[in-house]
Structure 1
Amino acid sequence: MKKVCLTLSLFTLVFGLMAQTKFSVDKAHSSVNFKVKHNGISFVNGSFNTFDGFVVGDLNNLQDARIEFTVDARSIDTRIEPRDNHLRGADFFDTEKYPQILFKSTGIEKIDDKNYKLKGLITLKDVTKAVTFDVVYGGKIVGRGGKDVIGFIAKGRINRFDFNVAYDPDGKTIAKDVDLILYMEFVAE
């Protein structure tokens, strides 16, 4: 009986590892975006043009996947160069000292076949905080070269003050809450 249990446990472990696939971000078909309320009446939109990341997991059990993501804070782009330079400076991202924004998942909750809650840690500047993203799984297709391609939309919100981005401390011109919107495609390696 012990041999049967050991064999089944080993089979489950090996099969589980084989089902794990690594998907790398397809940078040509993905974007990392944000918006923040300006003057209390409109929004400033922007993006980060340089990023990388991956998903490791079994597509049949996405709630067990592991996700890591890196954003180059120096690649911020609001289409206004003087504003972008200010955002790179010490008042905001201080990219000389903190060039990267990091995300590591800590858990994924399945809501239904398409919707998930992605929990993780964001490190921005010298602070690491928990964040939750609402994720919509777009599905899977077979792409070029016969490789699986998966797609997601992830939306979350952070309070910039939590990450020592405290320019305009009253939040009258630049709101404290920043909405994050990621459109992602990942390709199997």
Structure 2
Amino acid sequence: MKKHLIAAVIGATFMLPVAVNAADYVIDTQGAHASIQFSVSHLGYSFVVGRFNEFSGDFSFDADKVADAKVNVKINTNSVDSNHAERDKHLRSADFLNTSKFPEASFSSTSIVDKGNNQFVINGDFTLNGVTKPLSIDAVAIGEGKDPWGGYRAGFSGKTTFAMKDFGVKMDLGPASANVELALVVEGVKQ
């Protein structure tokens, strides 16, 4: 379960814009146009899925200088939501996210690799449960353009997987549940 949360945090990081000119964007969490979701196998029989309800972030992107792009995301780990109150309480405990000691997870990009066809690999440092390790997110540019309110938006999706033990998660639910998959959808508003 903690892996799912971590994955969700990582997912927020793929918010990489595909604007033609260099631009700075703020992730649109106010309008709920972004999400960080996680999925973890439950003992190999099904999956526990959930999300982080509170996160924030920004990104900068220039399609002519992809290597200069930046992504930063902060996640409130207390906002973990698996649609089950008792499980969420356990996820917040020292067995998983240890939110009383580490109330925030974060992702900061270190490099962006353009794979062509609107696909990117976002490399960065992911911090969860007080542990910082490198993490790569496979991202796709969904689209960009003007919105009905006079603004400009860019949207991306991304996925990554990581091992819970790599981030100090104490609970061991067996090999089928060792990894967390994070899925991110990010829509940014140009500043």
TM-score of the two chains, using structure 1 as the length reference:
0.85
1:160 paired to 2:169: no
Equivalent in 36, 41, 44 of residue 45 of structure 2: 41
CA contact (8 A) 2:94 2:170 kept: no
Q: 1:185: which partner in 2? A: 187
What are the residue-to-residue correspondences of 1:130-145 with 2, within 5 Å? 130-145=134-149
Offset of 1:84 from its aligned partner? 0.2
Aligned partners of 2:188 and 2:117: how far apart in 1? 18
CA contact (8 A) 2:146 2:153 kept: yes
Structure ID, larger Rg: 1
Aligned partners of 2:61 and 2:165: how far apart in 1? 33
Equivalent in 106, 111, 132 of residue 110 of structure 2: 106
Instruction: Determine which structure has the larger helix proportion and give its number.
Output: 1
Offset of 1:179 from its aligned partner? 0.2
What are the residue-to-residue correspondences of 1:29-178 with 2, within 5 Å? 29-168=33-172, 171=174, 175-178=177-180
List structure 1 runs of 4+ shifted beyond 4 angstroms: none
Output one character per residue of 1:20-77: Cα deviation in whole Å (capped at 9) or x when no partner. Answer: 3210001111110000001112110000000000001224433421100000000000
Percent identity of paired positions between Structure 1 and Structure 2 = 35
Offset of 1:126 from its aligned partner? 1.6
Consecutive unaligned residues of structure 1, counting only runs of 5 or more, are: 1-18
Give the superposed CA RMSD.
Answer: 1.4
Aligned partners of 1:180 and 1:60: how far apart in 2? 28
Aligned length: 169
Aligned partners of 2:49 and 2:167: how far apart in 1? 19
Offset of 1:113 from its aligned partner? 3.1
Equivalent in 16, 25, 28 of residue 27 of structure 2: 25
Q: 2:14: which partner in 1? A: none
The structure with higher relative contact order (CA 8 Å, sep 6+) is 2
Amino acid at match of 1:50: E
Aligned partners of 1:22 and 1:176: how far apart in 2? 36
Amino acid at match of 2:122: L
Consecutive unaligned residues of structure 2, counting only runs of 5 or more, are: 1-20
Amino acid at match of 2:26: S
TM-score of the two chains, using structure 2 as the length reference:
0.84
